[in-house]
Amino acid sequence: MKKIMQTVCLVGFIILTTATFSFAQFNAAGSEGFPFFHFGCLIVGGLIIVSLKRKYDKLYLSEAIGSFALFTMLVALFTSPVVDALKNLIN
């Protein structure tokens, strides 16, 4: 029962994080510049982390949540609004 509850918590976190990413990107870039590839990468990455959590009992919930949060930050860094902001910051 504990494993199922941890998986449900992990899936909930992944869904909320992915929804927050898509909402922020839609507001920043608009509908014509929405990064569908990055959104798909987040979904696939979330599925991989959930499957790893289900397969390996030694993987803690905090490790899975932390790794997905870092993965989300990495994906968000390479979207066009963030790259444009970094270009403006450097110039």
pLDDT higher than threshold 90 for residue 65: yes
Query: What is the spatial distance between Cα 8 and Cα 5, in angstroms, rounded to a whole number?
Result: 5
Neighbours of 79 (CB within 10 A): 20
Q: What are the sequence ranges of the domains in the chain?
A: 2-90
Q: What are the structure tokens assigned to 58, written together?
A: 């030694």
Q: What is the pLDDT of residues 19-59, one digit of tens each?
A: 999 998 888 877 777 888 999 999 999 999 999 999 998 99
Q: What is the pTM of this model?
A: 0.85
